Amino acid sequence: MNFSLEGRTYVIMGVANKRSIAWGIATSLHAAGARLIFTYANERFEKPVRDLAATLDGQDALFYQCDVTSDEAVQTTFDQIKEDVGTIHGLAHCIAFAQKEDLKGDFVDTSRDGYLLAHNISAYSLVAVSRAAQPLMTEGGGIVTLTYLGGERVVKNYNVMGVAKASLDATMKYLANDLGQHGVRVNAISAGPIRTLSAKGVGDFNAILKNIEEKAPLRRTVTQEEVGDTAYYLLSNLSRGVTGEIIHVDSGYSILG
């Protein structure tokens, strides 16, 4: 069987810079021969994303602005992609956001607005994006989202984002059930802690990484490239029997009690 992604097109949402997990996914899919389409939320990220993509040898990438808080923006983006390339074969959703003040202290203090914002960007967006993308997956396809252990159990400071990830995990499963009949598989990768722009400003991130190095079965943290290679597996025919699944790429940390 041929697991090359030659002749296949994938949409990557959520590259902010070279440390982004989305960039790890982009490099893995590129290495497998895929054509890539990048979306960014804010126009200030257009040039950095274009500059990064230009480093991928022979990649003829496309770029679209897409703020996932707007249904109209999501629909317009996929209408435009349909016009420009026609069929796509998959999508990587690497998007999350919560207000800084909701990522510390007690979860019980989360405001209604903060709760809704985190869920809007980090969980509902997968519904909006999947609905708009599915009609373009005329040959079947794969959708992958990024989640974290803090959605399965309580992790200090993750707070409202943990509740949003729990919603994202369930959202992924309901979407997998809906879209399976169209040959579209929907899965999640639960990544271990990786230093990215989102993780910046998190107090004690060094201590979080050190704890993984001391306790995780593999005694080390994971890389963007390792998450990227699992995304490649989930977006290729290698995983053709897998949907509605959460794969932990976390050095085994989640098995610990």
- Residues annotated catalytic, as ranges: 148, 158
Of the candidate spans 136-144, 175-183, 188-196, 230-238, the one that interacts with ligand NDP by CB under 6 A turns out to be 188-196
Q: Which is nearer to ligand NDP, 41 or 186 (CB)?
A: 41
**Residue 96, interface with ligand KAL (CB under 6 A)?**
yes
What does 155 bind: ligand KAL, ligand NDP, none (CB cut-off 5 to 8 Å by kind)? ligand KAL
Q: Which is nearer to ligand NDP, 97 or 107 (CB)?
A: 97
C-alpha 218/C-alpha 212 separation (Å) is 9
CA atoms within 13 A on the CB side of 216: 21
**Full DSSP string of 49-84:** HHHHHTTSTT---EEEE--TT-HHHHHHHHHHHHHH
**Residue 166, interface with ligand KAL (CB under 6 A)?**
no
Of the candidate spans 53-61, 93-101, 109-117, 134-142, the one that interacts with ligand NDP by CB under 6 A turns out to be 93-101
Calculate the alpha carbon distances from 59 to 56, 230, 252 in Å: 6, 21, 34
DSSP class of residue 192 equals P
User: Helix 71-85 to helix 125-133 angle, to the nearest 10 degrees?
Assistant: 30
Label residues 90-106 b or e (16+ Cβ within 10 Å = b): bbbbbbbbbeeebbeee
Smallest distance from ligand KAL to CB 123, Å: 12
Of residues 93, 94, 88, the one with CA closest to residue 35: 88
C-alpha 142/C-alpha 59 separation (Å) is 21
What does 187 bind: ligand NDP, ligand KAL, none (CB cut-off 5 to 8 Å by kind)? none
Which one among 77, 198, 221, 243 touches ligand KAL, defined by CB under 6 A? 198
Q: Beta strand pairing status for 141-147 and 184-191?
A: parallel
Which one among 38, 124, 148, 232 touches ligand NDP, defined by CB under 6 A? 148
Where on the chain is the footprint of ligand NDP (CB under 6 A)? 14-16, 20-22, 40-42, 45, 67-69, 94-97, 121, 146, 148, 191, 193-194, 196-199
Where on the chain is the footprint of ligand KAL (CB under 6 A)? 16, 96-100, 103, 148, 150, 155, 157-158, 161, 193, 197-199, 202, 208
